[in-house]
Structure 1
């Protein structure tokens, strides 16, 4: 690329990304600030704040019990925040600690039966809301949305992982 060429010229991928960034922000704001999560928690009968729901849902979609550090990594937050949320969820009997079969010193966190039921209710509320939002879409549009969002999430996550593994440049 010549020095005078822009990476966001008319035939460059940057133009498309630049055009979609406001929409990603709009969607993020609608979900996080638009009380959607709170409404879903209320519909599920969960008197929990958003971080606690996030921990419960992270555990719910995991294929196995997780260490606190794994929950933090999946949620992209620091461990002490997760520890406090896990303790609050334990007090409500929504999660429990189980021994790590590979390390007796460590414990894993998993949803209790009550926690799994609550997570199912929350998921059903969220799925119902989004299903209603795209009810008039064609099957092809819904399929494209699923395929492309999955691809975007996977590619962004992989790219961020590479950044985390790359040592900072020497100064």
Structure 2
């Protein structure tokens, strides 16, 4: 987009449909934060982990395979040293361990232990239970549409941010 394109900084008139979405994104963000959804799910799961450590644990659990530190960082959109610190905390608690990378003997992969998988499952079950309750009265088609559109939005925003980072515009 050029600087004069709608939706870009400096543009006089933002598109009405996008302008209508902005307060809803803000509303959801505030509701998630004020409602302490992640913290409540953590407590319900009986865990004493902070959000970054839980993010690593859930990322490993949902990956379905061991991951390198860099892969975890990419999926979480954070830097590698941040993930390394979280993995060290999780290792000390017996929730993850390192395994040899079959394709590169110099590298290691991180995978959840049985206790780590169980902890991640409890957290995800609690979190999804909360969202399931919030959407319980929605018709299945609306739930399917929400899933499809949120996935598309997340993928498109992530791809656009990656392009900006590659172009040095970020």
TM-score grouping bracket, smaller chain normalisation: 0.7 to 0.9
| Aligned residue number for residue 140 of structure 1 | 141
* Correspondence list, 1:91-170, <5 A: 91-168=92-169
| Aligned residue number for residue 26 of structure 2 | 25
Instruction: Name the SS for the 2:111 alignment partner.
Output: strand
Cα–Cα, structure 1 residues 158 and 19, in superposed 2: closer, same or farther, change >3 Å?
A: same
| Aligned residue number for residue 43 of structure 1 | 44
Q: What TM-score, normalized by structure 1, do the two folds share?
A: 0.86
Q: What TM-score, normalized by structure 2, do the two folds share?
A: 0.87
**Superposed displacement of residue 37, structure 1:** 0.6
Alpha-carbon separation, structure 2, partners of 1:106 and 1:33: 41
Alpha-carbon separation, structure 2, partners of 1:132 and 1:103: 45
Alpha-carbon separation, structure 2, partners of 1:33 and 1:103: 44
Unaligned runs of 5+ in 1: none
Aligned length: 162
| Aligned residue number for residue 86 of structure 2 | 85
| Aligned residue number for residue 64 of structure 1 | 65
Alpha-carbon separation, structure 2, partners of 1:33 and 1:66: 32
Instruction: Name the SS for the 2:15 alignment partner.
Output: helix
Moved over 3 A (4+): none
Cα–Cα, structure 1 residues 87 and 6, in superposed 2: closer, same or farther, change >3 Å?
A: closer
Alpha-carbon separation, structure 1, partners of 2:169 and 2:151: 29
Instruction: Name the SS for the 1:48 alignment partner.
Output: coil
Unaligned runs of 5+ in 2: 8-12
